[in-house]
Chain A
């Protein structure tokens, strides 16, 4: 069944405001809910946060009071959507449990996007990045066992493996090498634009989350690990945001944002296992259809173009959270020892990379290595969840 959001009717904007009772959503059960429901919540929160912040930026560049007022009306509704979505997360979960879920999102969402991306240069960017989030999951899982005495398999539920990816210490690159080439807005497939926006928003939310929750820890190793990985998330935002064509006009960017929200709410509605959460995706899709219609009006008026020229004729296949174990193992086996140079990739540790590494390490063990050593000392062994056999890289096996 084809679904073209430009041809669907949504809920009129003046009927979208919710009262406090309606915003007071029941959180999902931390011990019994589908881990991928939690992943969809976290991913969608990132999308809504990006929608809000993008609209604020646009408003700050917008000279017309009338236009600012319209942006403000839609943005307030987006802010309510963000609350309804993110408040589905249970207060019972610890910050570290939510963190592990954030990394599960980063792994399985980026892997899915990498699999679906038609453009080889963009695909490479996702394949490169996903191996780093994969490693972060392993580091946080060890922190979890170390300080909460629990195993991350209770959170990821065996859907995502937990083992080393590209080791975290190798993620500290010279910032210059984090910038990629953008896609060309006139040549790129519509799905490529949606992918870039989605992963950029997800990584940005992860960066924001770590930079804010990191200092709430007392344990020195936890404080330090959040600092280290938080900085890498900044590198990831740089990496993914540079994929987006900066030549898109503000109204085109707004249009893409609203279209992407329709795409993701529709995707999640189609794939959601929890009926209560599914009802929220459906409601929000119906709100977004109206936001898209309003953005399309602005685009037509200010850019003088037809939205159909820049958007997909129908929604692409739904973004799906599903295990990517074999795909990730293959990437680990082939991509693990790459780093970036300029806007490309190399296998050698080049001079600029070495210089950055030397400057930031300061000759001391770094938190992402320390957490493994500490947990090994305390729990007898480091934490891994290798469901599909030994690690694909022999030197990264526990019996090495």
Chain B
């Protein structure tokens, strides 16, 4: 009955906010999948979630947050609040990743992470994206989408030929290590789009 989630790297979304909303929905579904997975399937489902979170949060940090800081009324305050939420979620993610999906308190900690990530996403949607959409042109949002797409291409939720090798080099190690490498990818994509 439940259909497969959309595959992000094939999404033809050109608006950065649409793209990020889609990722929010996808992340929630990935949490469901980890929770519902059997013990054997769980590590793989969890890896997909970790990669998607790393990609998503990093892309936001490098694209919409700096833009929102400049563009929206009270942007500094709004973005600082979002970064504080992200840092809290990152800490939970690091802990969860370090102990692995076999840890006895895994599901308990996963719920904490889920609550933090969902609250963060909802706050972005309400306090940041709404204003950002009102204060930007479609062209601006398209430019920002390039960075998000480049990052997203590295976090396949299904096996996807052609990007495995890129993924192998970038999405390894701890979530924080992944994020550092994703950051470079986002920068290169944005430079390319703008230059």
Chain A residues within CB distance 8 Å of chain B? 30-31, 91-92, 94, 147-151, 153-154, 158, 218, 385, 387
Contact = CB atoms under 8 A, between A and B. Distances in A.
If over half of A's interface residues share one DSSP class (helix, strand or loop), that class is named, otherwise mixed; here it is: loop
A385 B125 CA distance: 26
Contacts of B26: 149
A31 B28 contact: yes
B122 interface: yes
B130 A218 contact: yes
Given A94-B122, A94-B125, A148 B1 contact: no
Given A31-B114, A218-B133, A150 B122 contact: no
Q: Which 4 pairs, one residue from A and one from B, show the smallest C-beta to C-beta distance?
A: A149-B25, A150-B25, A149-B22, A92-B118
Contacts of A91: 122
B16 to A, nearest CB: 14
A387 B125 contact: no
7 contacts: A31-B114, A92-B118, A148-B21, A148-B25, A149-B21, A149-B26, A151-B3
Contact of B122 (A92, A153, A218): A92
A153 B25 contact: no
A148 B23 CA distance: 10
Interface residues of B, number: 22
A148 B24 CA distance: 9
Contact of B28 (A150, A158, A387): A150
B32 interface: yes
Contacts of B125: 94
B139 to A, nearest CB: 19
Contacts, number: 38
B38 interface: no
A220 to B, nearest CB: 12
Nearest to A150: B25
A197 to B, nearest CB: 35
A31 B118 CA distance: 10
Contacts of B29: 150, 154
A86 B25 CA distance: 25
B136 to A, nearest CB: 13
Interface in B113-154: 114-115, 118-119, 122, 125, 130, 133-134
Contacts of B32: 31, 154
A91 B119 CA distance: 9
B192 interface: no
A218 B134 contact: yes
A92 B32 CA distance: 16
A114 B71 CA distance: 53
A223 B159 CA distance: 39
Contacts of B130: 218
A147 B13 CA distance: 13
A153 to B, nearest CB: 7
B31 interface: yes
A91 B121 CA distance: 12
A158 B118 contact: no
B2 interface: yes
Interface in B1-60: 1-3, 6, 21-22, 24-26, 28-29, 31-32
Contacts of A218: 130, 133-134
A148 B118 CA distance: 13
Contacts of A158: 1
B31 A153 contact: no
B18 to A, nearest CB: 8
